[in-house]
């Protein structure tokens, strides 16, 4: 008897239900990771994110080998190819049971269904485990429907948390013996010079990842509510890359948070827990309303929206050359580091979808190609929120003024000057919207669009739907 566990967005040993269950017999366990560049390209996964995952897997592989758990690489060509390649490995190793944690994406669920059919034909048992904090099928409205608004969803979620102990699954058990040879992690070269530099900033390995969380929990979370919106401060958890790839358990994070603090509204810990719940909410949405995984607006009427087809303006937005310092600094942060402060994600998304009236789906795809924490559910949910097309979205008439946002959250221009060093000599009061003379002196472009006029254009377009 031999078991196979397949990693996905669950790259950890602790609180990994499928991995733990696959280890219980102690009679031989092989783990595998699917190396699938075509799928990554099809899903717009950032090369930085993939390199980050592979670096972490090197550490995980070594931890597994110490437990007599084998590690294999499965090579596949697109997500539809994965079931057959998994089946090939089961034949080669004499696998009798396959273990996987459920992924809630539309294509991933189709893949799991196809895999189950193949395994059933070969009398190989397929074991699928829930990877969410709370099973999304259990969270319903009083009338038995699924939530479409975050606040009531979060209230039910919190009530279930207080009445249900968050059980954390142990690490997999030591196996009696090895059952096969171990594969090495394939080489994966980064071609982007910025990514080559920034990958060094992201620590990997179980102990280092846990220390990042512990530091946030003990040093930063109390001030999170008051400081989280200021991009020049190091006040956020920086855990999003690790949560996205499952290098740390969101359930375990909440358990430790609730053990240390009361879940009291208005506190830093309450606000941070809300961010975790937003991640769960967006996964809940793609599970129950899969149309959002197919390029559709949650609010169907906006599928009729006529967006501007302007490649030049979109390119300037992507490159951080809009002539609006806070927008350009934020996009430069994204392009250089693979990460962007959450407040700024909303600002740049709203600017693209409303002031420039460019299809939010283009911005969504560009973010995924650059973000080290690119998560389909959260990214789609965030973009549709900003574009007012999504579930529980901002009303269409809510349009952030990027200059006002800059003055409020980067008052002295510290963030702007960090990522736009050509503007560092501009006085603080003038940096948010430099004069024409200052723009010429500092080689900075004119504003891509008039904010007042573009706001009116957006209001007219959205109100006509």
**For residues 299 and 462, what is the distance between their CA atoms, to the nearest angstrom?**
12
Let me know whether 240 and 315 are in one domain: no
Is 189 inside a domain boundary? no
Residue 61 in tokens: 């592989």
252: containing domain: 133-166+206-288
Determine which one of 55, 342, 433, 442 is catalytic. 342
Determine which one of 272, 339, 360, 385 is catalytic. 360
Is 210 inside a domain boundary? yes
Share of the chain above pLDDT 90, in %: 94
3-state secondary structure (DSSP) of residue 100: strand
How many distinct structural domains can be found in the chain? 3
What letters, b where the CB count within 10 A reaches 16 and e where it falls short, cover 172-182?
bbebeeebeeb
Let me know whether 311 and 413 are in one domain: yes
Which residues are 32's β-sheet partners? 6, 72
Of 131, 153, 180, which closes a domain? Answer: 131
Let me know whether 127 and 137 are in one domain: no
Of 131, 150, 178, which closes a domain? Answer: 131
Higher pLDDT, 259 or 323: 323
pLDDT score at 458? 98
Share of the chain above pLDDT 70, in %: 99
Whether 385 is a known active-site residue: answer no
Is 187 inside a domain boundary? no
Is 201 inside a domain boundary? no
> 358-382, pLDDT tens digit by residue?
999 999 999 999 999 999 999 999 9
The mean pLDDT value of the chain amounts to 96
Of 261, 288, 315, which closes a domain? Answer: 288
Question: Which CATH number does the domain housing residue 153 bear?
Answer: 1.25.40.80
Q: Cβ(189)–Cβ(82) under 8 Å? A: no
Of the candidates 309, 325, 74, 48, the one whose C-alpha atom is nearest the C-alpha of residue 193 is 48
Is 420 inside a domain boundary? yes
Q: How does DSSP assign 266-326, residue by residue? A: TSHHHHHHHHHHHHHHHHHHHHH-GGGGGT--SSGGGGG------HHHHHHHHHT-SS-HH
Let me know whether 328 and 427 are in one domain: yes
Is 177 inside a domain boundary? no
Let me know whether 343 and 453 are in one domain: yes
Question: Which CATH number does the domain housing residue 306 bear?
Answer: 1.10.579.10
Whether 40 is a known active-site residue: answer no
Q: Cβ(67)–Cβ(173) under 8 Å? A: yes
Let me know whether 13 and 139 are in one domain: no
Is 374 inside a domain boundary? yes
Determine which one of 278, 317, 339, 385 is catalytic. 278
Q: Is the pLDDT of residue 177 over 90?
A: no
- Whether the CA torsion 97, 102, 108, 113 is positive or negative: it is positive
Let me know whether 35 and 83 are in one domain: yes
**For residues 320 and 103, what is the distance between their CA atoms, to the nearest angstrom?**
34
Q: Sorting pLDDT into bands at 50, 70 and 90, what band is 309? A: very high
pLDDT score at 389? 97
Determine which one of 63, 80, 275, 407 is catalytic. 275
What does the DSSP 8-state code read for residue 164?
S
Let me know whether 147 and 268 are in one domain: yes
Q: Sorting pLDDT into bands at 50, 70 and 90, what band is 163? A: low
Q: Is the pLDDT of residue 343 over 80?
A: yes
Whether 272 is a known active-site residue: answer no
> 38-67, pLDDT tens digit by residue?
999 999 999 999 999 999 999 999 999 999
Let me know whether 359 and 255 are in one domain: no
Residue 390 in tokens: 């999504």
Residue 445 in tokens: 């472009």
**For residues 251 and 157, what is the distance between their CA atoms, to the nearest angstrom?**
12
Is 268 inside a domain boundary? yes
Residue 434 in tokens: 């430099």
Residue 341 in tokens: 């402060």
pLDDT score at 1? 66
> 75-122, pLDDT tens digit by residue?
999 999 999 999 999 999 999 999 999 998 899 999 999 999 999 999
Determine which one of 272, 317, 383, 385 is catalytic. 383
Of the candidates 319, 385, 312, 315, the one whose C-alpha atom is nearest the C-alpha of residue 353 is 385
3-state secondary structure (DSSP) of residue 193: helix
Whether 383 is a known active-site residue: answer yes
pLDDT score at 295? 93
Let me know whether 319 and 260 are in one domain: no
Of the candidates 403, 406, 402, 405, the one whose C-alpha atom is nearest the C-alpha of residue 351 is 402
Question: Which CATH number does the domain housing residue 33 bear?
Answer: 3.40.50.620
143: which residues sit within 8 A by CB, 6+ positions away? Answer: none
Quickly tell me which residue has 């706001």 as its tokens.
Answer: 455
**Does the model's pTM come out above 0.75?**
yes
Q: Is the pLDDT of residue 162 over 80?
A: no
Of the candidates 392, 447, 372, 446, the one whose C-alpha atom is nearest the C-alpha of residue 278 is 392
Determine which one of 307, 401, 407, 433 is catalytic. 307
Q: Is the pLDDT of residue 406 over 90?
A: yes
**For residues 64 and 173, what is the distance between their CA atoms, to the nearest angstrom?**
10
C-alpha distances in angstroms, 13 versus 49, 50, 64, 236, 311? Answer: 19, 19, 8, 25, 45
Let me know whether 458 and 315 are in one domain: yes
Let me know whether 34 and 108 are in one domain: yes
By DSSP bridging, strand 97-101 and strand 70-75 are: unpaired
Q: Cβ(18)–Cβ(43) under 8 Å? A: no
Q: Cβ(373)–Cβ(49) under 8 Å? A: yes
């Amino acid at each position: 008897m031999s078991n196979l566990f397949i990693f996905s967005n669950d790259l950890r040993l602790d609180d990994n239900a499928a991995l733990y269950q696959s280890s219980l017999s102690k009679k031989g366990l092989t783990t595998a990771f699917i190396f699938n560049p075509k799928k990554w390209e099809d899903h717009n996964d950032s090369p930085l994110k993939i390199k980050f995952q592979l670096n972490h897997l090197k550490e995980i592989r070594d931890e597994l080998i110490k437990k007599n758990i084998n590690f294999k690489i499965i090579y596949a060509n697109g997500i539809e190819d994965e079931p057959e390649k998994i089946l090939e490995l089961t034949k080669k190793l004499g696998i009798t049971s396959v273990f996987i944690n459920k992924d809630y994406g539309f294509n991933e669920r189709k893949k799991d269904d196809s895999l189950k059919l193949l395994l059933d034909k070969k009398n190989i048992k397929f074991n699928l485990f829930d990877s969410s904090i709370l099973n999304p099928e259990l969270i319903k409205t009083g009338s038995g429907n699924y939530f479409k608004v975050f606040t009531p969803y979060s209230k039910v979620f919190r009530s279930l948390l207080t009445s249900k102990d968050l059980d954390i699954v142990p690490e997999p058990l030591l196996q009696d013996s090895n059952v096969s040879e171990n594969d090495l992690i394939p080489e994966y070269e980064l071609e982007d010079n910025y990514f080559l530099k920034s990958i060094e900033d992201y620590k990997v390995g179980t102990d280092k990842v846990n220390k990042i969380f512990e530091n946030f929990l003990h040093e930063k979370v109390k001030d999170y509510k008051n400081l989280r919106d200021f991009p020049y401060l190091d006040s956020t958890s920086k855990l999003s890359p690790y949560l996205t790839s499952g290098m740390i358990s969101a359930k375990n994070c909440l358990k430790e948070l609730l053990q240390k603090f009361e879940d009291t509204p208005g506190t830093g810990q309450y606000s941070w827990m809300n961010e975790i719940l937003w991640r769960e909410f967006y996964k809940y949405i793609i599970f129950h309303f899969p149309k959002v995984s197919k390029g559709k607006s949650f609010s169907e009427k906006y599928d009729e929206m006529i967006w501007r087809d302007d490649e030049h303006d979109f390119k300037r937005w992507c490159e951080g050359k809009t002539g609006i310092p806070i927008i350009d600094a934020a996009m430069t942060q994204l392009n250089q580091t693979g990460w962007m402060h959450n407040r700024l994600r909303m600002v740049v998304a709203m600017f693209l979808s409303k002031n420039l009236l460019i299809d939010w789906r283009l911005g969504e795809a560009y973010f995924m190609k650059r973000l080290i924490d690119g998560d389909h559910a959260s990214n789609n949910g965030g973009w549709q929120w900003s574009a007012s097309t999504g579930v529980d979205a901002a009303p269409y008439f809510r349009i952030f003024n990027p200059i006002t946002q800059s003055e409020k959250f980067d008052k002295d221009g510290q963030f702007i000057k960090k990522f736009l060093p050509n503007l560092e000599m501009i006085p603080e009061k003038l940096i948010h919207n430099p004069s024409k003379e200052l723009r010429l002196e500092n080689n900075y472009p004119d504003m891509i669009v008039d904010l007042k006029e573009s706001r009116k254009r957006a209001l007219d377009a959205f109100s006509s739907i």
